[in-house]
Amino acid sequence: MITFREEDSTQATLVEYGDYECPYCGQAYPIVKEVQKPLKNKLRFVFRNFPITQTHPHAQQAAEAASAQNKFWEMHDYLFEHQNALANVDLEQYAKKIQIGNISTFKSELGQHIYAARVREDFLSGVRSGVNGTPTFFINGIRYDDSWDAKSLEDAIKDTL
């Protein structure tokens, strides 16, 4: 699954493989937001789920919750802003807060793991791309292994423009 924010005239693509329960992804979240602001329509941001379930027991379910009912970005932001509370009861509360549409359907979809295949596709895409931890960034298809502070990341993206 490719999930992205796109504006007209996109000239660079930043892909993040992330895990909603990963503390480093939580640190990267506001940095990515900060980098997006000045680049506006020159940057497409793609988030791909890479739940590391061995150490983050809620990551898979959180990734599935983000996929539900076409509210990806609203849920994505809410999950990172509340990443220390990702149990099912929390996810249901977040779904209500972002007005997900139908809470009964949301609960049913999570219980049946309707979005598990989509999350797995993201994960396998990461494995094929050499991702072995989170967050991992790619700029225009090239893995970015330098510092991901806002200035360094923004400068790297600007270098591709």
* Spatial contact of 78 and 51, defined as CB atoms under 8 Å apart: no
Distance CA 161, CA 153 (A): 13
Domain ranges of the chain: 13-160
Mean pLDDT by 10 residues, the chain (161 residues): 49 96 98 94 95 96 94 96 96 96 94 96 97 97 95 95 86
Tokens of 44: 């497409």
Which class in CATH covers the domain with range 13-160? alpha beta
pLDDT of residue 84: 95
Residue 6: per-residue pLDDT? 47
Phi and psi torsions of 125, nearest 5°: -60, -40
Half-sphere exposure of 27 (CA within 13 A, CB side): 9
Q: Which H helix or E strand runs over 148?
A: none
pLDDT reported for residue 1: 46
Question: Would you state the pLDDT for residue 40?
Answer: 85
Global pTM reads 0.90
Using DSSP, state whether 58 is helix, strand or coil. Answer: coil
